[in-house]
């Protein structure tokens, strides 16, 4: 988990998700990691067992795949169109 400053932790934990999404400021990677980690810790601590850990890991895996499929792949396809595809020279 990132170790962000106390003031920033307090701000993030006391701001609604809706308000965070409306802000023009983009969350930095460490701040996003902190928010996700805090949520996961809370969910796990509500029932700390292997089953809960396994469910959380499954969700993280699904989120990773969906984010790549819906956002990253489309971005990469756009960049291929703009800059050309990989050319292997043999």
- Are 61 and 38 contained in the same domain? no
44 neighbors 53 (Cβ within 8 angstroms): yes
10 assigned to some structural domain: yes
Domains held by the chain: number: 2
Domain limits for position 1: 1-46
Q: At CA 60, angle to CA 41 and CA 56, rounded to 5?
A: 45
Question: What mean pLDDT is predicted for residues 44-60?
Answer: 96
- Are 32 and 66 contained in the same domain? no
CA-based torsion, 6, 11, 13, 17: positive or negative: negative
Write out the DSSP string of 37-83.
HHHHHHHHHTS-SHHHHHHHHHHHHHHHHHHIIIIIHHHHHHHHHHH
90 assigned to some structural domain: no
- Are 17 and 57 contained in the same domain? no
The model's pTM: 0.76
* Residue range 56-90, pLDDT digits in tens: 999 999 999 999 999 999 999 999 999 999 888 87
88 assigned to some structural domain: no
Is residue 25 helix, strand or coil?
coil
pLDDT at 38: 92
């Amino acid at each position: 988990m990132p170790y962000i400053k106390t003031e920033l932790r307090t701000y993030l934990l006391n701001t609604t998700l809706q308000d965070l999404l409306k802000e023009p400021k983009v969350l930095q990677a460490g701040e996003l990691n902190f928010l996700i980690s805090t949520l996961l810790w809370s969910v796990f601590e509500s029932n700390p067992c292997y089953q809960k850990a396994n469910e959380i890991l499954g969700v993280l895996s699904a989120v990773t795949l969906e984010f790549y499929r819906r956002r990253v792949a489309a971005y990469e396809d756009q960049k291929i169109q703009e800059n050309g595809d990989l050319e292997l020279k043999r």
